[in-house]
């Protein structure tokens, strides 16, 4: 199987910042031709965001670089009549259009799904928003932080003292973007092609909470912040060792038994407080404290190696830099380097391996409007016309 199963698919990327660009980046990594359509003069806001101020000033902020490799960039003023016409001409040659404007914006511009599907009935139109295209919150502005709070994620993150707590990365944007990419890939398989995808970041996050939501809906459980404890089993969570914390997930009875015996605490297996899974869950804090009296006598690496050999899942709690340097991540080429400017930049490749090969970008993130001449020429515009459109602020 080739690593570019979406080869031949043309995607118009009208998105900004993260959820939409992340979605389209995943499609690009799998072979789709992604054309990023940006506002003249400023482009995607992410071009000005990131930890490197010099890159921000140059319109190539790290936040932009991270999600926009393997794409082409054109500039287009969608409020201008000529700009609307050019987009519609592009739509006739496209398979997918992705946008993450606030609901109703594209329709007010005369570029909504109903209008564009007249130009191309086979178009897959994907709208990503914070809350979906309808409902009482549809018109509200939404960023990742807002969605994390509204979805309930913050209420169950942290412990009793620290909750509500935001997850440490843009969970809602990423979940929404991946859900959109999945839906688009599925829609491309439909015959005849064509349709409207309404992707809500909030819906994606609530769906991704899985058992937390199901335990409430079916079991009547009011979800609570569990800190580093696994609500489904015990001992299962984060434990202190002689040097750094580790995670242990002795979720099965056999794993619990192997853990207790390896720690020299066979006596706990006969203790009435720990006889069953439910007993251990009720007494998880006392059990954790008891096990840590032994775990704190040896460094993390010793325990992790020994427990995994016994079939008890265990792993160190690493920083992001440490995780990226582990042989497991490094040797599977999740991070690749792409030529950019006078050097190279590191980027994450696809999270999927296809027949042992990981799809990775070989083209850098584009400068704003760098493909204007080539792409507008493909639409039949001559060089003088392209220059005139630029002078008029259309592109």
Q: List residues with catalytic annotation.
A: 173
**Structure-block tokens of residue 124:** 């897959």
**Helix or strand run (H / E) with residue 257:** helix 253-262
Q: Are 226 and 278 in contact (CB under 8 A)?
A: no
Q: Are 394 and 381 in contact (CB under 8 A)?
A: no
Environment class of residue 89 by beta-carbon count within 10 Å: exposed (0-12), middle (13-18) or buried (19+)? middle
b/e code 302-321 from CB counts within 10 Å (16+ = b): ebbeebeeeebebebeeeee
Q: Are 188 and 96 in contact (CB under 8 A)?
A: yes
- For the beta carbon of residue 290, count every other beta carbon within 10 angstroms: 19
For residue 27, how far is the Cα from the chain centroid? 13
DSSP state for residue 10 in the 8-state scheme: E
Sign of CA dihedral 364, 365, 368, 370: positive
Residue 195's closest CA among 252, 281, 114, 280?
114
3 state SS for 162-204: CCCCCCCCCHHHHHHHHHHHHHHHHHHCCCCCCEEEEEEHHHH
**Structure-block tokens of residue 350:** 């696809």
Radius of gyration of the chain (CA): 25
b/e code 196-211 from CB counts within 10 Å (16+ = b): bbbbbbbbbbbebbee
Quick check: helix, strand or coil at residue 235?
Answer: coil
The per-residue DSSP string of 311-367 comes to T--EEE---HHHHHHSHHHHTTT-EEEEEETTEEEEEE--S--BTTB-----SPPPP
């Amino acid at each position: 199987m080739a690593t570019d199963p979406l080869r031949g698919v043309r995607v118009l990327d009208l998105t900004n910042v993260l959820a939409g660009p992340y979605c389209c980046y995943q499609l690009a990594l799998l072979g789709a031709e992604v054309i990023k359509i940006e506002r003249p003069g400023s482009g995607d806001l992410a071009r000005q965001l990131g930890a490197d101020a010099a890159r921000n000033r140059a319109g190539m902020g790290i936040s932009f670089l991270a999600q926009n490799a393997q794409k082409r960039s054109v500039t287009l003023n969608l409020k201008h009549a000529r700009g609307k016409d050019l987009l519609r001409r592009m739509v006739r040659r496209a398979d997918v259009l992705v946008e993450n404007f606030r609901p109703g914006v594209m329709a007010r511009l005369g570029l909504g799904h109903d209008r564009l599907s007249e130009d191309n009935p086979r178009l897959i139109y994907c709208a990503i928003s914070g809350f979906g295209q309808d409902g009482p919150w549809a018109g509200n502005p939404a960023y990742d932080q807002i969605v994390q709070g509204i979805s309930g994620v913050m209420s169950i993150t942290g412990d009793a003292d620290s909750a509500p707590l935001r997850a440490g990365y843009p969970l809602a944007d990423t979940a929404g973007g991946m859900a959109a990419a999945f839906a688009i890939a599925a829609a491309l398989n439909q015959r005849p092609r064509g349709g409207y995808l309404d992707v809500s970041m909030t819906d994606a996050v609530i769906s991704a909470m899985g058992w937390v939501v199901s335990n409430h809906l079916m079991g009547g459980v009011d979800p609570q912040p569990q800190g580093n404890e696994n609500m489904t089993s015990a001992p299962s969570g984060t434990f202190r060792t002689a040097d750094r914390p580790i995670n242990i997930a002795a979720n099965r009875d056999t794993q619990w038994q192997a853990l207790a015996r390896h720690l020299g605490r066979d006596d706990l297996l006969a203790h009435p407080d720990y006889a069953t899974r439910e007993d251990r869950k009720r007494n998880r804090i006392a059990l954790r404290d008891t096990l840590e009296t032994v775990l704190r006598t040896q460094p993390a690496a010793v325990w992790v190696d020994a427990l995994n050999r016994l079939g008890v899942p265990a792993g160190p709690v690493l920083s992001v830099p440490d995780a990226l340097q582990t042989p497991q991540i490094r040797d599977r080429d999740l991070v690749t380097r792409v030529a950019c400017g006078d050097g190279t930049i590191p980027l994450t490749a696809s999270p999927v391996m296809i027949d042992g090969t990981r799809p990775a970008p070989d083209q850098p993130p584009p400068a704003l409007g760098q493909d204007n001449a080539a792409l507008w020429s493909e639409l039949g515009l001559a060089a003088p016309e392209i220059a005139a459109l630029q002078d008029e602020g259309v592109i």
